[in-house]
Amino acid sequence: MTTHQEQTALPSQSLDDESVSEYLRQHPNFFIHNARQVEQMIIPHPVKGSVSLVEWQLTRQRQHIVNLEQEITLLMEQAQANQHLFGQLLHLQSHLATADDLAELQRRLHYWARELGLAGATFRLFNDSWQLAAPSGFHHLGLDRNAFTPLQLQRFNQDSHYLGRLQGPELLLLMPEAKAIGSVALSLLTDKGQDVGVLIFSSRNKDHYHPGMGTELLDCIAGFLPRLLTRWISRS
């Protein structure tokens, strides 16, 4: 039998973080059995120099509560933003759906964007997807797909949207009559899986639209707009 003296004579096992952690996992009641020692433990602190283990744990709990409160606040803000976004979208969709003709739809879309503080909104339709030739009266909406392809390759990067600035020739292609445009939000209009045009929101502010912005509203408008347009324009 090994005596107490022999035990103390044995070389002590070196301790590291992992071995201490493993011991505590195997002995979950350690802190209960050693409550007084726990209260006397001193933990290094980067600001205060040192704090008790109890104070250190309380500080961690307080920070955890703060983090939870911040997460809850963020979720509530996002919910409010989504509710506001849904209200805007519902108003626009019903407003466009009751337009008497295509010109009225264009005006309503444009003034809706102006109410948001933007320069305006419009759309262009690919010539090979719609019947825009005379005598339709809609030829001014036509956009040559081949002329648009270089812009799409450079700006969209295989995405459905582009948010940011455009060069002069690019603006001239999409909005030949527009002036003092700082930044744009472009979204491909799609119908039955095919790109049929481009939705365009514009701002005087060069920094208003930028990469990384949310595109939920653009997605929704670009989704329902082509179906509304078929009331007045036939697909090719």
DSSP 196: E
- Does residue 172 fall inside a structural domain? yes
The pLDDT value recorded for residue 30 is 75
Please count the helices (runs of H) and the strands (runs of E) in the chain: 9, 7
CB neighbour list of residue 101: distance below 8 Å, 6 or more residues apart? 232
Q: What is the pLDDT of residue 122?
A: 95
- Domain termination site, one of 44, 67, 98: 98
φ/ψ bin of 126: left (φ > 0), alpha (ψ from -120 to 50), beta (otherwise): beta
In angstroms, the Cα distances linking 87 to 76, 82, 118 are: 17, 9, 18
Q: Kindly state whether residues 82 and 60 are assigned to the same domain.
A: yes
Residues 85 and 139 in one domain: no
Residue 5 inside a domain? The answer is no
The number of folded domains in the chain is: 2
Tell me: do 55 and 87 sit in the same domain.
yes
How high is the pLDDT of residue 73? 67
Answer yes or no: is 234 within a domain: no
* 6 part of a folded domain: no
Token pair, residue 228, equals: 């509304």
Are 121 and 136 contained in the same domain? Answer: yes
Amino acid at 91: H
One-letter amino acid for residue 129 of the chain: S
pLDDT of residue 19: 81
**pLDDT by 10s per residue, the chain, length 236:** 444 444 434 345 667 778 877 887 888 777 677 767 666 666 666 655 565 666 767 777 777 777 777 777 666 665 565 566 666 777 888 889 999 999 999 999 999 999 889 999 999 999 999 999 877 788 889 999 999 999 999 999 889 999 999 999 999 999 998 888 999 999 999 988 899 999 999 999 999 999 988 888 888 899 899 999 999 998 88
For β-strands 120-126 and 194-203, DSSP reports them as antiparallel
Give residue 198's domain range: 101-229
Sequence length of the chain is 236
Q: For tokens 């979204």, what's the residue?
A: 187
> Do 76 and 160 share a domain, yes or no?
no
How much is the pTM?
Answer: 0.65
